[in-house]
Amino acid sequence: MKVKRIFIACLVLGVMGLCAMFGTLDYWEKFGPPPEAVLDRAMRLKTIDALVAKLNQFYVFPEKAKKIEAILLQRHQKGTYDSIRSGYQLARQLTADIRGIAKDLHMRVGYHPKMVLPDEVDGPEPTSRAEWEQQSNLFTRLIVRHKATRRMVQTDHLDGNIGYLKLSGFPEAFLIADTYATAMDQLADTDGLIVDLRRNAGGDPESVALLISYFVDQRRRLNDIWDRETGTTVQHWTARQLDGKRYGGKKPVLILAGPDTASAGEDFAYTMQAMKRATVVGAPTWGGAHPTKAYRLGGHFIAWIPNQRSISPITHTNWEGVGVTPDIAAAPDMALVVAKNLMWHRLRGTASLVAAEQ
């Protein structure tokens, strides 16, 4: 019994470690204790001041940050936030306000009543598995690895030797690389592939670049990313070497997308579409293109702020605010049926007739 209690205690600590790194607002608000402190006017102003300072320093659109600052401070002075006593409520209201001003779905504010968030949340993101392991404890690593790979990538073989690849997210490339390699090995011998992103919540742009690398025959330039803090633009390219079999640049690929295709999921669809490497089937996507980072606002508040901008070297823009427009429109729940029919005809040389009928 003692061993069992120790295991449970360690598991709880691991979950807390995970919550401190990923999705804390959602998990803690649902399952955590109620706020202990009642917010006063000074605490609200301190949070707002910290938020606008981070926005002015890091938000990808400086002019919008200034607009947000002016409006938030104006609302505070008018007493708009005076009735808010809950940290959760203030976080939700600030999220609604900044999104309403900037029209940026990636921006949000979180509140964590029992956690004093570390300053390290503002530090650089790990770029390798070794760096990530150094920054996290054993239990957090076990849980995150499990979350990053558990049913995140699913494969199947449909009738007509059509491959099916379902992706529910794009975890960090150094965590998911082995899973991609296994999946692509399983699908390498199919004649055509349907990639299902209809329930893809996004993730790491490097993971997107890694997966796209399987669908080209030679090195290709993907999206550039401009960083607000450094003012530099970094080009992203497909990988030279892969652990799994390349699918190649010739076999047909269809991508299923819809309103629940977000962020990095949109990146994959948009880039493959712009490269003319895939046809997108479904409905317009979520519309969030800017990579985001978490910033500490105070002891219990945190903000997710887009600090970088994706720029396609082909379209010279991105999908921010508009989403990815499908090549072939279909209701999301019917997109797979439409795609299978289209793929069947493409493999038999009659795709143009089917596309014209959609």
Q: What is the pLDDT along the chain (358 residues), one digit of tens a residue?
A: 444 444 444 444 444 454 544 444 454 455 555 545 678 889 999 999 999 999 999 999 999 999 999 999 999 999 999 999 999 999 999 999 999 999 999 999 999 887 655 554 555 666 555 554 455 555 454 555 555 555 689 999 999 999 999 999 999 888 899 999 999 999 999 999 999 999 999 999 999 999 999 999 999 999 999 999 899 999 999 999 999 999 999 999 999 999 999 999 999 999 999 999 999 999 999 999 999 998 999 868 999 999 999 999 999 999 999 999 999 999 999 999 999 999 999 999 865 444 444 4
Q: Given this model, what pLDDT does residue 32 score?
A: 53
Q: Given this model, what pLDDT does residue 164 score?
A: 98
What CATH number has the domain spanning 151-288+323-357?
A: 3.90.226.10
**Neighbouring residues of 282: CB distance < 8 A, sequence distance ≥ 6:** 198, 256, 257, 258, 261, 326, 328, 329, 330, 332, 335
Q: Given this model, what pLDDT does residue 145 score?
A: 54
Domain boundaries, the chain: 2-122, 151-288+323-357
Q: What is the DSSP string of 4-19?
A: HHHHHHHHHHHHHHHH
d(CA 95, CA 58): 17
Closest CA to 340 of 208, 243, 195: 195
Beta strands in 204-357 (DSSP E): 224-227, 233-234, 253-257, 279-282, 292-296, 301-306, 308-311, 328-329
DSSP state of 325: P
